[in-house]
C-alpha cells in the first residue's frame, strides 16, 4: 500500500506550490513554512532548472514532497521516469491520465517497486486553466466534468491512487470513484487573494467541505509579502471550518 500524506490537522492538507528557478529562495521559502503547511509541491519550472539535486535541497526542510512531474509518454518511458524519481521519496507524484490505460498501469507498477516508501500516484485529468470552450478547441466534445470523470475512472481502473481535479468536480468524482479515491485540488484561492489565470477555482474551506483530500496553493502564499503569515491565515480558515 502507498504511504498517504499524513493529515491530522487541517493545515496538513496544504501542499504549497513552489515554482521558481531561484533555488535559494525555494529552500528558504520551504523552511519558513514548516509547521504551517503539510508539504511542498515542486513543478516543472523548478525541476527543469534544478533537477533531483534541487529537490533534495528543498526536502531538507523535512516536509513531504509532491513532485508535479505530469509524466505523459509511452508506458515504458513513463515507468522509467517514475522509477528514477523514487530515490527522492516523494509522497505524491503525478502523470497525465490522457496518456492512457497502459501508461497509467506502468506508472503504478513502477511506483510499487518502492515498497513501503511507495508514493501515491495521481493522474491529471483536465488542467484547471481549461474550460468547456478550451476542450472544444482541442477536439474534446462534451463538458469538462464529463471528461474529468471519464479519465478518473480510467485511472482508478489502472491502479492510480487518485486524481488532480478542480474542487467543483469533487462531488461527481466521489460518486464515480468512491470515498477512498484521493482527490488533490489545485486552483485554490482564499477569498482575499487574486484569481490569476485559473478559471475553475474555490476557496480552501469550500474545497474541504466539498471533499478534497489535499489542496495545492501557490501564489496566495508564495506571492504574499509575508508567505508564512499567508499560510497561517489559510490554515486558520481551514481550522475554523473543520
pLDDT tens-place string over residues 74-128: 999 999 999 999 999 999 999 999 999 999 999 999 999 999 999 999 999 998 7
Note whether residue 167 is domain-resident. yes
CA within 13 Å, CB half, 46: 26
DSSP 8-state secondary structure symbol assigned to residue 190? -
Alpha carbon distance, N-terminus to C-terminus of the chain: 27
Q: Are 10 and 208 in contact (CB under 8 A)?
A: yes
Structure confidence at residue 110 (pLDDT): 98
Write down the pTM of the prediction: 0.91
Note whether residue 220 is domain-resident. yes
Structure confidence at residue 166 (pLDDT): 84
Note whether residue 5 is domain-resident. no
- Confidence grade of residue 191 (pLDDT, cut at 50, 70, 90): confident
> What are the residue numbers of the active site?
70
Note whether residue 185 is domain-resident. yes
Note whether residue 120 is domain-resident. yes
Of the candidates 82, 56, 74, 17, which has an alpha carbon nearest to the alpha carbon of residue 231? 17
CATH assignment at residue 233: 3.20.20.70
Helical ranges in the chain per DSSP H: 23-32, 44-59, 75-85, 101-112, 132-137, 144-157, 170-177, 204-210, 219-222, 227-240
- 60: domain range? 10-240
Note whether residue 20 is domain-resident. yes
Note whether residue 88 is domain-resident. yes
Q: How many domains does the chain have?
A: 1
Residue 187 vs residue 28, higher pLDDT: 28
Note whether residue 3 is domain-resident. no
Amino acid at each position: 500500500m502507498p504511504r498517504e500524506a499524513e493529515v491530522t490537522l487541517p493545515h496538513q492538507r496544504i501542499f504549497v506550490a513552489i515554482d521558481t528557478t531561484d533555488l535559494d529562495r525555494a529552500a528558504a521559502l520551504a523552511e519558513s513554512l514548516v509547521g504551517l503547511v503539510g508539504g511542498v509541491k515542486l513543478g516543472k519550472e523548478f525541476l527543469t532548472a534544478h533537477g533531483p539535486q534541487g529537490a533534495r535541497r528543498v526536502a531538507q526542510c523535512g516536509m513531504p514532497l509532491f513532485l508535479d512531474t505530469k509524466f505523459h509518454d509511452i508506458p515504458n518511458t513513463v515507468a522509467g521516469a517514475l522509477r528514477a524519481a523514487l530515490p527522492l521519496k516523494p509522497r505524491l507524484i503525478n502523470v497525465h491520465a490522457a496518456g492512457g490505460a497502459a501508461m497509467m498501469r506502468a506508472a503504478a507498477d513502477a511506483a510499487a517497486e518502492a515498497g513501503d516508501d511507495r508514493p501515491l500516484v495521481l493522474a491529471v485529468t483536465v488542467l484547471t486553466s481549461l474550460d468547456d470552450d478550451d476542450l472544444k478547441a482541442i477536439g474534446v466534445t462534451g463538458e469538462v466534468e464529463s471528461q474529468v470523470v471519464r479519465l478518473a475512472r480510467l485511472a482508478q481502473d489502472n491502479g492510480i491512487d487518485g486524481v488532480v481535479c478542480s474542487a467543483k468536480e469533487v462531488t461527481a468524482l466521489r460518486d464515480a470513484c468512491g470515498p477512498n479515491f484521493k482527490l488533490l485540488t489545485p486552483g485554490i484561492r482564499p477569498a482575499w487573494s487574486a484569481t490569476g489565470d485559473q478559471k475553475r477555482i474555490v476557496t480552501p474551506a469550500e474545497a474541504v467541505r466539498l471533499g478534497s483530500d489535499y489542496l495545492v496553493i501557490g501564489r496566495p502564499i508564495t506571492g504574499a509579502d509575508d508567505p508564512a503569515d499567508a499560510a497561517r491565515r489559510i490554515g486558520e480558515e481551514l481550522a475554523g471550518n473543520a
